[in-house]
Amino acid sequence: MESQKPHAVLVPYPAQGHVNPLMQLAKLLHSRGLHITFVYTEYHRDRLVRAKGLGSIQGLSDFRFEAIPDGLPPSDNPDATQRTADVCGSTRKHSVAPFKQLLIKLNSTPDIPRVTCVISDAVMSFTVRVAQELGIFEVQFWTASACGLLGYNQYAELVRRGIVPLKGPFDLASFKAHHFIIMVLLAVYEKL
């Protein structure tokens, strides 16, 4: 019965390098029998429809596409790339309520299984709070490389030690320190 299927809601950060890995994961989970809802921002859904047609977002009965607003004002150029900092800040502030409303709508639709899991891009952290409020299991998905994750995890320590930010383009001491840190990160990565 359809209502017994696990239902995963996937929320990528709206950029190609983030959407593609989560779409691959969504397809893999769907092939294993999960009901999937893939959530775009309205801006990126509209861009996709303009580029590929309405058929690009028409899924199957158990693989559906939804959209939520990102909170940014409309652009003069509907195909312009949005600034990363603007999208991050705006979704954090303005996407919480629409995402919560979407999950409530999905859970109250009779022919759709209840949402059992939210899998969101780590950059779309607003989803964590919403999932917790609604008692839904939530997983953060990291779309970058493992080496990139190690670097991000150590960034606060690099700042604390004064290694970053670079003090200037020709700061040899900073360059040597960065070179050392990169070598350490690579050594750690090789042991994983």
**Distance in Å from the first CA to the final CA of the chain:** 41
Number of alpha carbons in the 13 Å side-chain half-sphere of residue 49? 14
Q: Catalytic site residue 7?
A: no
Q: Where are the beta strands (DSSP E) in 3-85?
A: 7-11, 35-41, 63-68
Torsion, Cα of 97, 100, 102, 104 (10° steps):
-130
Catalytic residue among 18, 35, 44, 70: 18
Q: What's the token pair of residue 153?
A: 């995890």
Q: Catalytic site residue 121?
A: yes
Catalytic residue among 7, 35, 70, 121: 121
DSSP, collapsed to helix, strand or coil, labels residue 11 as strand
Strands of the sheet with 7-11, listed across from one edge: 63-68, 35-41, 7-11, 117-121, 137-141
* Inter-residue contact 147 to 186 (CB < 8 Å): yes
- Residues annotated as part of the active site: 18, 121
